[in-house]
């Protein structure tokens, strides 16, 4: 499903931000408000946000003009008829939203995909206003949408896989970090976020602590700059109140707005943040809020609304918490987390999810993976999934990657691998923070480097070819990893380089060796010795990447290539790969002898008989990958 033109219905605070981020993704963006006055106001908001970006040096005037040129306003819904995707971002009113979708359904071409930015209603309910629920999902942006990278991409039971994939890839192309969420009340993040602030206010109801004590204790416990009371004053009391009411209606009494929240809403005032912090009461506050957040997060995972990794990402990226609930539980120990939940279970029986009890019984912490392995037919997708650190290679990541590669090696059904990165980076290098922490122990640094070298060797020696789909920064160890792959396809926005000498170190995962072999001594020297980054086109020109494609085409191009490789005789492919690799260590005569041996082995495979017979029979071959007899 190709996306060129995106409609945004509503150009208020959220809608204008969404329209701007869509335009920043390079999509033709048509934003609609019902009146010229509202439209002008919304467009002005975008214009001034872009101008501020230039003033603060965050963007250039040329880029501002480029983004602005992608945006067109209209008051006529009919102008959205040919959009590939329409995002609704109007006021949080169920009937109004349904009316918009019913109208869009009548107007838009049959293939247009719809997404709602609702935060409190079920997507399925809104989708039911259309005759195309299979083409409706949720795109839940976080405030402020231009800056906040988190995007909850929501699928209902009816959302077609292709439509969901389209929404995910749209999210990525417009610079967001999507998390995959099942349609349910509050989705993933609001579910624990609303419980978090509501419980903070219940503590006030119960007289456990005063407002400044609660705010300070929560900031310390969750690593935040702003506690719940201050945050509500900034984001709006009605929003906080209505969100809690909405979850009470859809989930139950646990979310009923705390007494002081209701009173504040009814009075139309803000929290009075003055007063003394009472240090003696901070622990009780922290314990209660940690218990609530961790319990609700575990429930979200238990219900399959989102994975533990995505819940944590929702907290760290969307809410800017220092750690997500599952990482917090791992840090404090799951037994302690469970013990803290005792009083909440007493007040709200059934609060503690079975998933948490089972995890405690297993004696293991939560597994929070930074490397995802997905096998789709003959193709394995390995995705570096630590976007909050630009997929930097720490020892945890390296161990997980090693494990994923071992699984691929053992899986004879897999015939090609695509390796890519989540978010803005392919891999922005080895983890500088981890290396710095290890620096006092040279043996530990060497061990870390050897681990990395071993993983890159695993990639190189994998029987299945590995395609690096370089979606963004490929720096230092990230570029070294890409160079260990067999083929490199880069998005036109990718940036590559070896910044090591600028950090006082040198490439340590084979950069001097593999870059020189691929691009020659002159090119490698310039890159390594200056530490300068180069763009994708330059990387292709000097032979570091095979080809450059537009960002939306990256994964499809890699997939087409992988499919072609996967359609060939697996043993012939694996042995060809080994023979090509042998050129890195063997002189020509020995390389030719190596090739002769491998070629003789391939000649003895049933796939050679099949491949040649298929040619003679003028039919496509059916390869089995059976080893030489």
Nearer to ligand CAA, 223 or 543 (CB): 223
**Strand-pair partners of 548:** 490
CB of 536 to ligand CAA, least distance (A): 15
445 binds ligand CAA (CB under 6 A): no
Pairing, β 533-535 against β 495-497: antiparallel
509 binds ligand CAA (CB under 6 A): yes
Q: Which of 24, 434, 500, 595 is catalytic?
A: 500
**Strand-pair partners of 177:** 150
Cβ distance 274 to 213 under 8 Å? no
507 binds ligand CAA (CB under 6 A): yes
Q: How far apart are CA 172 and CA 425, in angstroms?
A: 11
224 binds ligand CAA (CB under 6 A): no
433 binds ligand CAA (CB under 6 A): yes
Nearer to ligand CAA, 171 or 421 (CB): 421
**Which residues make Cβ contacts (< 8 Å) with residue 84, sequence separation at least 6?**
1, 2, 3, 4, 5, 6, 111, 112, 113
Nearer to ligand CAA, 144 or 531 (CB): 531
Total of residues contacting ligand CAA (CB under 6 A): 23
429 binds ligand CAA (CB under 6 A): yes
Nearer to ligand CAA, 63 or 72 (CB): 63
Return the residue of 508, 551, 570, 625 that touches ligand CAA, per CB under 6 A: 508
572 binds ligand CAA (CB under 6 A): no
Q: Could you say which residues in the range 457-476 bind ligand CAA, by CB under 6 A? A: 473, 475-476
Nearer to ligand CAA, 4 or 433 (CB): 433
CB of 449 to ligand CAA, least distance (A): 7
**Which residues make Cβ contacts (< 8 Å) with residue 338, sequence separation at least 6?**
352, 356, 357, 360
Return the residue of 105, 199, 431, 607 that touches ligand CAA, per CB under 6 A: 431
390 binds ligand CAA (CB under 6 A): yes
Q: Which of 152, 199, 422, 480 is catalytic?
A: 480
Across the beta sheet with 466-470, the strand order is: 371-376, 379-384, 416-421, 466-470, 487-491, 547-549
CB atoms within 10 A of CB 204: 20
* Unique residue bearing structure tokens 């349910």: 184
Tokens of 380: 């394995």
Q: How far apart are CA 418 and CA 561, in angstroms?
A: 10
**Which residues make Cβ contacts (< 8 Å) with residue 617, sequence separation at least 6?**
none
453 binds ligand CAA (CB under 6 A): no
**Binding segment (CB under 6 A) for ligand CAA, from list 268-276, 287-295, 428-436, 566-574:** 428-436
Nearer to ligand CAA, 475 or 485 (CB): 475
Phi/psi for 542 (5° steps) reads -90, 5
446 binds ligand CAA (CB under 6 A): no
SS (H, E, C) 530-584: HCCEEEHHHHHHCCCCCEEECHHHHHHHHHHHHHHHHCCCHHHHHHHHHHHHHCC
500 binds ligand CAA (CB under 6 A): yes
Length of the chain, in residues: 629
Nearer to ligand CAA, 174 or 557 (CB): 174
Q: Could you say which residues in the range 392-411 bind ligand CAA, by CB under 6 A? A: 392
* Unique residue bearing structure tokens 């480097």: 449
Question: What character string, x for contact with ligand CAA (CB under 6 A) and - otherwise, covers 86-125?
Answer: ----------------------------------------
Tokens of 127: 């989708």
Give the closest residue to 176 by CA, choosing from 58, 317, 306. Answer: 317
Nearer to ligand CAA, 509 or 555 (CB): 509
Return the residue of 54, 270, 503, 586 that touches ligand CAA, per CB under 6 A: 503
Q: How far apart are CA 564 and CA 530, in angstroms?
A: 38
Question: What character string, x for contact with ligand CAA (CB under 6 A) and - otherwise, covers 252-291?
Answer: ----------------------------------------
Cα atoms in the 13 Å half-sphere on the side-chain side of 309? 16
One-character DSSP codes across 267-331: HT------S---GGGHHHHHHHHHHHHHHHHHHHHHTTSS-HHHHHHIIIIIS--SS-HHHHHHH
Tokens of 181: 């969420």
**Binding segment (CB under 6 A) for ligand CAA, from list 68-76, 168-176, 410-418, 426-434:** 426-434
CB of 395 to ligand CAA, least distance (A): 12
Question: What character string, x for contact with ligand CAA (CB under 6 A) and - otherwise, covers 344-363?
Answer: --------------------
551 binds ligand CAA (CB under 6 A): no
**Binding segment (CB under 6 A) for ligand CAA, from list 77-85, 98-106, 425-433, 588-596:** 425-433
CB of 65 to ligand CAA, least distance (A): 22
Phi/psi for 393 (5° steps) reads -85, 100
**Binding segment (CB under 6 A) for ligand CAA, from list 39-47, 111-119, 314-322, 497-505:** 497-505
CB of 387 to ligand CAA, least distance (A): 9
Q: Cis peptide before 600, with omega less than 30 degrees from 0?
A: no
**Binding segment (CB under 6 A) for ligand CAA, from list 297-305, 360-368, 385-393, 599-607:** 385-393
Catalytic residue check, 480 = yes
**Binding segment (CB under 6 A) for ligand CAA, from list 96-104, 259-267, 284-292, 496-504:** 496-504
Cβ distance 161 to 168 under 8 Å? no
Instruction: With H, G, I as helix, E, B as strand and everything else as coil, classify residue 497.
Output: strand
**Which residues make Cβ contacts (< 8 Å) with residue 245, sequence separation at least 6?**
257
* Unique residue bearing structure tokens 């095979």: 546
* Unique residue bearing structure tokens 């760290």: 316
**Binding segment (CB under 6 A) for ligand CAA, from list 35-43, 59-67, 117-125, 502-510:** 502-510
Cβ distance 18 to 145 under 8 Å? yes
CA dist list (Å): 584 to 27, 100, 261, 368, 518: 43, 61, 68, 37, 10
**Binding segment (CB under 6 A) for ligand CAA, from list 78-86, 399-407, 427-435, 581-589:** 427-435
Q: How far apart are CA 371 and CA 357, in angstroms?
A: 26
Nearer to ligand CAA, 54 or 432 (CB): 432
243 binds ligand CAA (CB under 6 A): no
Return the residue of 181, 244, 338, 389 that touches ligand CAA, per CB under 6 A: 389
499 binds ligand CAA (CB under 6 A): yes
Nearer to ligand CAA, 243 or 496 (CB): 496
State the residues that interact with ligand CAA by CB under 6 A.
389-390, 392, 428-433, 452, 473, 475-477, 480, 499-500, 503, 505, 507-509, 511
Catalytic residue positions? Answer: 480, 500
């Amino acid at each position: 499903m190709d996306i060129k033109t995106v409609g945004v219905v509503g150009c208020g605070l959220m809608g204008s931000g969404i329209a701007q981020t869509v335009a920043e993704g390079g999509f033709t963006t048509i934003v609609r408000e019902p009146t010229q006055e509202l439209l002008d106001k919304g467009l002005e908001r975008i214009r001034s946000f872009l101008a501020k970006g230039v003033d603060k040096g965050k963007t250039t005037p040329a880029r501002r003009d480029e983004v602005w040129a992608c945006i067109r306003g209209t008051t006529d819904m009919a102008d959205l008829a040919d959009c590939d995707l329409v995002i609704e971002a109007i006021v949080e009113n169920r009937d109004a939203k349904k009316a918009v979708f019913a109208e869009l359904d009548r107007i838009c071409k049959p293939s247009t995909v719809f997404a709602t930015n609702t935060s409190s209603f079920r997507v399925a309910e809104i989708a039911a206003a259309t005759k195309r629920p299979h083409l409706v999902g949720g795109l839940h942006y976080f405030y402020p949408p231009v800056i906040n990278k988190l995007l909850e991409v929501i699928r209902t039971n009816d959302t077609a896989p292709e439509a969901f994939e389209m929404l995910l890839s749209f999210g990525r192309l417009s610079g967001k970090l999507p998390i995959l969420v099942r349609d349910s009340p509050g989705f993933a993040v609001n579910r624990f976020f609303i419980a978090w602030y509501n419980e903070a206010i219940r503590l006030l109801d119960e007289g456990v602590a005063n407002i400044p004590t609660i705010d300070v204790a929560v900031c310390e416990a969750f690593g935040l700059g702003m506690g719940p009371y201050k945050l509500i004053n900034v984001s709006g009391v009605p929003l906080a109140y209505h969100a809690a009411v909405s979850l009470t209606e859809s989930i139950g009494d646990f979310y009923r707005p705390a007494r002081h929240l209701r009173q504040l809403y009814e009075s139309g005032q803000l929290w009075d943040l003055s007063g003394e912090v009472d240090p003696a009461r901070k622990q009780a506050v922290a314990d209660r809020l940690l218990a609530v957040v961790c319990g609700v997060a575990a429930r979200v995972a238990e219900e399959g609304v989102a994975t533990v990794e995505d819940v944590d990402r929702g907290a760290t990226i969307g809410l800017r918490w220092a750690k997500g609930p599952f990482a917090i539980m791992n840090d404090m120990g799951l037994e302690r987390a469970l013990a803290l939940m005792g009083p909440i279970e007493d007040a709200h029986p059934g609060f503690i999810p079975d998933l948490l009890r089972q995890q405690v019984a297993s004696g293991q912490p939560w597994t929070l993976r930074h490397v995802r392995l997905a096998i789709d037919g003959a193709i394995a997708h390995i995705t570096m999934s630590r976007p909050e650190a630009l997929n930097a290679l720490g020892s945890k990541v390296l161990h997980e990657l090693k494990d994923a590669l071992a699984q691929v090696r053992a899986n004879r059904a897999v015939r090609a691998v695509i390796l890519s990165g989540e978010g803005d980076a392919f891999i922005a290098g080895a983890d500088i923070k981890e290396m710095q922490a290890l620096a006092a122990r040279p043996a530990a640094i060497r061990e870390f480097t050897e681990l990395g070298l071993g993983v890159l060797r695993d990639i190189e020696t994998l029987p299945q070819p590995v395609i690096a789909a370089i979606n963004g920064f490929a720096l230092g160890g990230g570029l070294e990893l890409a160079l260990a792959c067999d083929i490199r396809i880069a998005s036109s926005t990718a940036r590559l380089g070896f910044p090591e000498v600028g950090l006082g170190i040198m490439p340590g995962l084979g950069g001097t060796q593999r870059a020189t072999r691929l691009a020659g001594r002159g090119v490698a020297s310039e890159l390594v010795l200056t530490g300068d980054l180069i763009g994708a086109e330059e990387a292709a020109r000097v032979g570091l990447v095979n080809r450059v494609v537009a960002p939306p085409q990256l994964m499809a191009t890699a997939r087409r290539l992988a499919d072609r490789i996967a359609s060939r005789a697996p043993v012939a492919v694996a042995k060809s790969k080994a023979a090509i690799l042998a050129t890195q260590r063997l002189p020509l005569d020995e390389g030719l002898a190596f090739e002769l041996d491998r070629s003789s082995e391939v000649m003895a495979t049933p796939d050679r008989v099949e491949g040649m017979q298929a040619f003679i029979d003028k039919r496509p071959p059916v390869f089995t990958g059976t080893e030489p007899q």
